[in-house]
Amino acid sequence: MLITYSEHAVSRMMERNISVSDVSLILSHPDGKIKQSADKWIFYKHLPSRKDNLIAAVALEIKNSSWEIVTVMINFEVKK
């Protein structure tokens, strides 16, 4: 799986102490995902090593198995 990162995503990853390996894990083994549009998804996962609820990555599907991370979030809540 090829993952690229927008400038905004890199900035937010640094600010929120989210590593590249965290994002890779969220995309490859999410607890869930929400389709936002034809090519945009939110992947989310609880990481046991963190205490800030669900970690989410907003990703654009560029091609099969190729993603661009647009932003990352902490304390993500799934709306029901």
CB 72 within 8 A of CB 13: yes
Look at residue 23 and tell me whether its pLDDT is greater than 90: yes
Query: What pLDDT digit, counting tens, does each position of 33-75 carry?
Result: 999 999 999 999 999 988 888 999 999 988 777 999 999 999 9
Both tokens of 45, joined, read 């996962």
Is the separation of the CB atoms in 47 and 55 below 8 Å?
yes
Q: Which structure tokens are listed for 49?
A: 């090593």
Sequence ranges of the domains in the chain: 2-76
69's CB contacts (< 8 A; 6+ apart) are 3, 4, 5, 6, 9, 23, 57, 58, 59
* Lookup result for tokens 């869930």: 32
In this prediction, residue 7 has a pLDDT band, given cuts at 50, 70 and 90, of: very high
- pLDDT recorded at residue 63: 78
Give the pLDDT of residue 60. 93
State the architecture of 2-76 in CATH terms. Roll (3.10)
Judged against a pLDDT cut of 80, whether residue 21 lies above it is answered with: yes
